[in-house]
Every structure is written in structure tokens, then in C-alpha cells.
Amino acid sequence: MASLMIILQLGGAVALLLFGLNLVRDGVTEGFGIRLRMALGVGTRTGPGAFLAGLAATLGLQSSTATALLTASFVDRGMVRPHMAQIVLLGANVGTALTAWVVSSGAGALTPALLLTGYALSRRKGPVLAGTGRALIGVALMLLALSLLDHAAAPLRESPLLAAFLPMLDQAWPVALLLAAGLAFACSSSLAAVLLVLSLGLPAGLTVVLVLGANLGGAVVPVMLTAALGAPARRVAVGNLVIRAIGCLIALPFAGWIGPALHRVPLPWTGLAVEAHLAFNLTLALLIWPFAGLIARMLDHLVAGDERHAEPGPLWLDEAALDTPILALTGAAREVLAIGDTVERMLAQTRLAFQQNDPAPLAEVTELERRVDRRQQEVKTYLSRLGSQATEGERRRAITILDYVINLEHVGDIIDKGLASEVRKKIGLGLRFSDEGFDELEAMFVMTQENLRMAQTVFMTRDRDMARRLMELKVEIRNLERQSAQRHLFRLREGLAASRETSSLHLDILRDLKRVNAHVVSVAHPILDEDGLLFESRLRSG
């Protein structure tokens, strides 16, 4: 009975820790999600920037797995280069180790203050304050969970059964490593596994081995979650697993020496498990960083690619379904989602050409634009032949689909005839933006890509809260465009040569990205209008 109570207490403490982690991630995503995505998208031009972006994202999301999935999706969409993605994940691994160090550094006394502050902020309106409040509550719950873990593990540390079992486990380090890997995989968190090991008070060598296993198991989860994505995304996750596995194999024979060595490091003592976790990931980052490009090239051969083939025609427009409106509308909606994916690819390729000063990706943009034009015309023709037995609600849904596909076609035109043309001009004339101007345009590109993805989700789910958030982002885009234009004019007044040479180009790209966002956000209009949440005019009365 006593053993069952100990297991329940340990399980409950781990569950509370995982709940706190999820609460922090949800709160940060709600309040700062778009900024974190922009940081990952914009901050990966250089190795140090990529490392810091991964570190910051993981400290915010409290999950290297979440950072890995976000980075993998960016690589899959061409927003982050593969070798930079590996550096991002090195930073993410250090970020989760720093989180363990902070949580276990004796900050438990702050738990009541964090709970009170978090609750007060979570009651406020606005995503930033509410999200911050939820994140603070999550941090407080993590601190509380760590205290509960320590309390629940106290009987285990004094148990004669554990004292008899530990020497056997201490003599079978490979088994111990796999055991810890399985625990981290089951929790979907290397952080939770490391903090559990911290609470047990194990021998130094065994503690290091279990921490190595926790790092290995934490890298397995992203591999499984990216299995359905494209080859570029899978390569990122597999690369992270391979890097951690190599690190574990190298460090495993020296675990008995590493433990005592860490005791002599002049750092605030938070427990050997946490120190080993931090030391392992810092060392791995220092050793692997110079070889990130080589690893990315090796992964191209290790993980088979899935080449993109041109689509011969519409995939979901079934002529036989026209007499059943609900089936026809479903097929048309799926076809429009595929068109939206093509438009997103156009934007990604344009940004890639802008980033790398290389016109090659723009050749695909022109071909994709012709495909978008053809397929949106096929959708319009298909829906015009919808059966006469369609209900009023089905007719409204058909109009919504038509509105969205027309807006996507306009976005394709803006990208091909506006943005791509402007990027060609930049490359052809050898123009170079100032560092500040380049970063501002990069941020606009990233935010536009994220808004397009959100619009796809809104179109598919018709979620009112997400539609409202998309409308709020339109205001942020407008402010970002205005601020960038103002800063550009300020640089002109300062006489910066780069700003003078690229003045009209900078403003044209800003304008076109703003126009793209305006068309993208329009998908939210019918959803919010149904609930009476839109005004007919933005003019103030009186």
C-alpha cells in the first residue's frame, strides 16, 4: 500500500509538472506566438542568430520539442535553411537545460507571488497580458511540482529495495540509458525526466547516464511527430536525434568521471542531474556547431526526399458530386486549400530569392502562378454548375469559397507581378538593403507567411476566435508597415547610401506585402460578419 502511494505521488507530481509546461507553452503562444515565429524565421540568417532564436523560443515555450516542430515546419516551407535549423535545435536543447537549471535553483518561494500575479494578469483582456498570466501560473505550477517530486521521492531515497536495485542498474549503464530514454519519451519531455532523476538522489555515474538517456528519449518525439511532413522537416528531427545519440555514445563511457568533475565546477549547485543536463547540451552545441552544414548534407542522403511534382489538374472537383451539394462544396473547399498551399509556396520561394540574392527560385513562382490561375478558374466553373437543389446555407458557403479563391488568385498575382518582380530588380541591379531595412522586410515576409497559414486554418475550421485573431493581426501588419516606412525615411534623412539606393524598392515591397495580408485576412470577414462583429465602415460617426 505504501509503495502504491509513493507511485501515485510521483505520478501526480510529474503530471502537474507536464501540465505546468503545457500551460506555459499555451500562454506564451497566445501572447507572443507570432513574435516567436518571427524570431525563428528572421533570426536564422547567421549561426549565432539561429542559436539564440532556438534558445529564446525554448525558454518561452518551455519545450524543445515544440521548438523542433516549429523549426521543422519552417524548413519544410523553405523559411529556414537546413543547416541553420540544426543550429536552432542546438540552441533549443540548451534552452531546455537552462529551464531545468532555473526551476531547480531554489525559486520555490516565489510560487505564491507567481500564482497571484499570473491569475491577475490572466483575467485581463488582450492576448499579451492574458497569455503572460497563464505562463506565470504554469511556471508556478512547475515549481510546486518540483517540490512535490522531492517530497514524494523521499521514501524512495531511504528504501532498502532501491538500495538493493541501484547497484544492479549502476552496473548496466546501457540498460539505464534506455530506461531513461523510455521515460522521457513517455513524458514527451526530457525536462520532466531530468527533474525526476534529480529528485531520486542517485549515485553520480548513474545520474549522468540517466540524464543522457533523457536527452536521447526527448529527441525521439519530434521524429515521430514529423513523420507525416516532407523530407526537409523529417531531416531536421532525425538530425537532432542522430546528434544526441552520437553525444550519448561518446559520453556514456566517461559518465563515472563526468559526475565528480561537475561537482568541482564553481557554479550555484542545483543538483547533479541538472548540471549534467546543462553541461551535456552546452558541450554538444560547441562540438557540433562547426559541422552543422556537413550534417545537413549527410541528412540529404540519409533521409529520402519526396520531390514535388506538377499537378496535372484539379484533385477534388468530382463531376459526379455536383448533384449532391454538400459533397461538391467539400471537394471545392479541399481544392481551394490546395491552391492556398501553392500560393504559400510562391511566397516562400520569393522570400528565398530575396534572402539569398538568387533569382533561381523565382522561376518556380511564375509556373506556380499559372497553375493558381488555371485551378481557381476551374473551381469557379465547377461551383457555377452546383445543383439547383442547394440550400440557402450551401449557396452562402459556395460564395465564401469563391471569395477566398478569388483572393488567393489576387495574392498570386501580387507575388508574381509585384514581389517577384521587385526581388528580380534588387538582384539584377545588385542593390543591397541596409541591415535594418533587410530585417524589417524579413519580418514582414515571415508574418505574411504565418498569416497565410492561419487563413488556411480559418477557412477550413471557420473558428471564430482564430478569425478574430487574424483580424487583429491585420492591425499589427498595418502598424509594422507604417513603422518600417517611417524608419526607412529616417535612414534616408541620415544619408545612408544603402537606404537611398533601395528607397522605392523598400516601400514597394512593404506595400505589396501589406496588400497580400489584406487579401489573406478577408477569409475572416464572413465568419465575423455572421456574428455581427464587423462594422460596415471604419469612419467615426459625428
Q: What is the pLDDT of residues 42-55, one digit of tens each?
A: 666 678 888 888 88
pLDDT at 245: 92
My answer on whether 396 and 274 are in the same domain is no
- Name the band, by pLDDT with cuts 50, 70 and 90, for residue 493: confident
Residue 309, in any domain of the structure: no
The verdict on residue 314 lying in a domain is no
Taking residues 477-500, what's their average pLDDT? 78
Same structural domain, 271 and 369: no
Residue 540 lies in a domain: no
Cα(137)–Cα(258) distance, rounded to whole angstroms? 35
Indicate whether 411 pLDDT > 90. yes
* pLDDT(539) > 50: no
Distance from C-alpha of 380 to C-alpha of 387, rounded to nearest angstrom: 14
CA distance 302 to 150: 43
Residue 339 lies in a domain: yes
For the beta carbon of residue 155, count every other beta carbon within 10 angstroms: 14
Q: Is residue 161 part of a domain?
A: no
Q: Which grid cell is 520?
A: 489573406
On whether the pTM is more than 0.75, the answer is no
Task: Check whether residue 276 and residue 324 sit in a common domain.
Answer: no
User: Do 229 and 103 reside in the same domain of the chain?
Assistant: yes
In a domain, 535, yes or no: no
State residue 537's pLDDT score.
45
Pairwise CA distance, residues 19 & 244, whole Å: 26
How far is Cα 347 from Cα 344, in angstroms, rounded to an integer? 5
Question: Does residue 539 sit within a domain?
Answer: no
Mean pLDDT confidence for 244-258: 89
Q: CA nearest 108: which of 20, 175, 32, 27?
A: 20
Domain match, 290 and 382 both: no
Residues 294 and 412 in one domain: no
Q: Check whether 408 has a pLDDT greater than 90.
A: yes
* pLDDT of residue 307 exceeding 50: no
Average pLDDT, the chain: 80
Q: pLDDT band for position 309 (50/70/90)? A: very low
In a domain, residue 165? The reply is no
Residues 289, 338, single domain; the answer is no
Q: Which of the residue ranges 136-140, 207-211, 510-514 would you say has the lowest mean pLDDT?
A: 136-140
Within this chain, do residues 124 and 79 fall inside the same structural domain, yes or no? yes
C-alpha angle with apex 507: 502 to 509, nearest 5 degrees? 95
* Percentage of the chain lying above the pLDDT 70 cut: 84
How many domains is the chain partitioned into structurally? 2
pLDDT at 184 over 90: no
The CATH number of whichever domain residue 507 belongs to comes to 1.20.58.220
Q: Domain check: are 341 and 482 in the same one? A: yes
Shared domain for 346 and 278, answered yes or no, is no
- Same domain (yes/no): 359, 483: yes
Q: Picking from 13-17, 49-53, 77-81, 241-245, which range would have the lowest pLDDT averaged per residue?
A: 77-81
- In three-state secondary structure terms, 78 is coil
Query: What domain range is 416 assigned to?
Result: 319-530
Residue whose C-alpha is closest to residue 75's, from 239, 308, 233, 293: 233
Tell me: pLDDT of 449 over 70: yes
**Cα 314 from Cα 342, distance rounded (Å):** 13
Confidence of residue 160 (pLDDT cuts 50, 70, 90): low
Are 117 and 264 in the same domain?
yes
Radius of gyration of the chain (CA): 26
